[in-house]
């Protein structure tokens, strides 16, 4: 796994047979669609203190907001549909309820992800650019 939450989600999704690559924050220039991007650390809400909290050496948990984006080409050159209408649900089925472990550098303890919950998904069609964008909002329940 990766040293970051986004990297751990990327590795997890790429192991699920979706046949697309995922990138942290943005894909390299010229990347062929479809692909996904993962933006982590948008917001963090800490859970109520248990056993005194992290300042006293106890484990801290919280919910981190992560955005996952699916980018597809809308039409083929002959103007027939290119978008895979089943891919968004395949991603939902792969990610909703997932549990994973992010393995950071040796100097930092591993971060357990108790569950990834999909809180929303929206489809955005940019007709001029010919791009279909599905934006997922994920709530990641994890050790901080």
Burial class (CB in 10 A: 0-12, 13-18, 19+), 79: exposed
The 10s digit of each residue's pLDDT in 75-99 is 999 999 999 999 999 999 999 999 9
Q: Domain 5-143: give its CATH code.
A: 3.30.2000.30
Q: What is the pLDDT of residues 13-58, one digit of tens each?
A: 999 999 999 999 999 999 999 999 999 999 999 988 776 777 787 7
Q: What is the pLDDT of residue 98?
A: 96
Burial 96-131 (b: 16+ CB within 10 A, else e): eebebebbbeeeeeebebeebebeebeeeeeeeeee
pTM exceeds 0.85, yes or no: yes
Mean pLDDT of the chain: 90
* Domain assignments of the chain as residue spans, ordered by start: 5-143
What mean pLDDT comes out for the span 130-137? 98
Query: How do strand 131-143 and strand 35-46 relate by DSSP bridges?
Result: unpaired
Residue 65 above 70 pLDDT? yes
């Amino acid at each position: 796994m990766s040293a970051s939450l986004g990297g751990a989600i990327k590795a997890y999704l790429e192991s699920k047979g979706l046949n697309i690559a995922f990138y942290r924050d943005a894909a390299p220039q010229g990347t062929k669609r479809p692909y996904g991007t993962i933006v982590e650390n948008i917001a963090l809400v800490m859970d109520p203190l248990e056993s005194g909290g992290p300042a006293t050496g106890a484990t801290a948990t919280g919910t981190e907001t992560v955005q996952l984006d699916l980018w597809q080409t809308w039409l083929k050159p002959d103007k027939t549909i290119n978008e895979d209408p089943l891919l968004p649900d395949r991603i939902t089925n792969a990610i909703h309820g997932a549990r994973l472990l992010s393995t950071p550098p040796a100097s930092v303890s591993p971060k357990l992800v108790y569950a990834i919950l999909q809180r929303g998904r929206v489809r955005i069609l940019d007709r001029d650019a010919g791009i279909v964008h599905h934006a997922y909002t994920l709530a990641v329940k994890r050790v901080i």
